[in-house]
Amino acid sequence: MNKPQKIFLSGPISTRLDTYKAEFDKAAEIVADAGHIPLNPAWMPLGLQQKDYMRISMAMLESADLLVAHPDWAESKGATIERTYAEKVGIPVMSWGDFLAAVTPQAPAVPSCEVVATTRRLETVDLAKFRDALGTGRASDILRPFDMISVHLTNGDTVAIQCAFVGTDYARFIFLDCVGDFMMNDEPTNEGGYYKSQGRKAVLEEIYPLLPAELRAMIRPRTIRETINGETVEYADPLWLPSATDVFGSPKDKWWPDENDSFHLPIFTRERNRVKECGDHGSYPWWLRSVFATYTTNFCIVYSDGGASYRNAYSSYGFAPGFDIAKS
């Protein structure tokens, strides 16, 4: 992307009067930090007529090199008009998630001489034997990161689970694909964090009981820490949604909070390894448990191409939870 470009920010305003200014200002800050010139319509004062807002916004758009659309642009009549006009006159349009991916530094390429992890699908694995090998230095002889195992759920379905990390006394596993699509909340809010979300309730009450009893007996609940309204909440769940740090690490320009209970899992260092499917949808966005740190409406997601993004909590996307197995 040539620098600097004049980037017009397009998205809903009148439908979210309590949050739009913080959202647009944060987006403008990210655009500026990337070396571009933000054209931010949120600077306009309240009290004008709709036609006045559109005239001013269209004048700004006329001078733009690129329109970057908020994830929920389609819920705004004004943003829909802006996008349609941009497409008609040849102003390039980019989603916010794609823009972030374009300006976020990528991990260095793996040198050609370095051994690249490969995926093994192991149909028969004695997880009890693997659990007992943890702490002996022999667990990786049985399972290692990227390996996949088949698990027969209590509803009759069979799912693939991927080994994400093997430590000294525990191992972490993530569902290879989504087990359904869910909302994080039925209202556009992340107040209460993952701790009080309906998404967490669905993971524990709808998905966790599907795991076979012998597997549930081997799971060690993961301790999760969140800061909610200035207070730290600590809890432990046997099945959980991965955090943004689990999937994307902790880059300098991250928009999720610091997550001291998390680290970048080796299976997610490459973008294509973050892509998941969800039933007949094919490749599909999937939820993470991390809130968008500066917005009160959004949680983080992994987009269908493996990139980082975020969406309103009431959107419906895939769940690909994880669990830990620990030495007994």
pLDDT in tens, 231-280: 899 999 999 999 999 999 988 878 888 887 789 998 998 888 999 999 88
Task: Return the pLDDT at 111.
Answer: 38
Q: CA dist 275 to 93, 177, 304, 327, Å? A: 23, 8, 6, 30
**Which residues in the chain belong to E strands, given as ranges?**
6-10, 37-39, 66-69, 93-95, 121-122, 148-152, 158-166, 170-175, 181-183, 222-228, 231-237, 286-291, 298-302, 308-312, 316-318, 322-326
Asked if 170 and 220 count as a contact pair (C-beta separation under 8 A), the reply is yes
Task: Return the pLDDT at 295.
Answer: 82
Neighbours of 25 (CB within 10 A): 16
Least confident interval from 131-140, 218-227, 261-270 = 131-140
Q: pLDDT tens digits for 6-39?
A: 999 999 888 878 778 888 888 888 888 888 999 9
Least confident interval from 48-62, 115-129, 223-237 = 115-129
Please give the mean pLDDT across all residues of the chain. Answer: 87
Task: Return the pLDDT at 91.
Answer: 92
pLDDT of 325 over the 90 cut: yes
pLDDT of 118 over the 80 cut: no
What's the average model confidence in pLDDT over 71-80? 85
Neighbours of 76 (CB within 10 A): 21
pLDDT of 203 over the 90 cut: yes
pLDDT of 283 over the 60 cut: yes
Tokens 């993952």 -> residue? 194
Instruction: Please give the Cα distance from 204 to 207 (Å, whole number).
Output: 6
pLDDT of 71 over the 80 cut: no
> Domains of the chain by range and CATH?
6-103 (3.40.50.10400), 117-328 (no CATH)
Q: Give the percent of the chain with pLDDT over 90.
A: 55
Task: Return the pLDDT at 144.
Answer: 87
More confident residue, 291 or 101: 291
Any residues with CB less than 8 A from the CB of 90 and at least 6 apart, and which?
none
Closest CA to 86 of 45, 26, 39: 39
What's the average model confidence in pLDDT over 208-224? 94
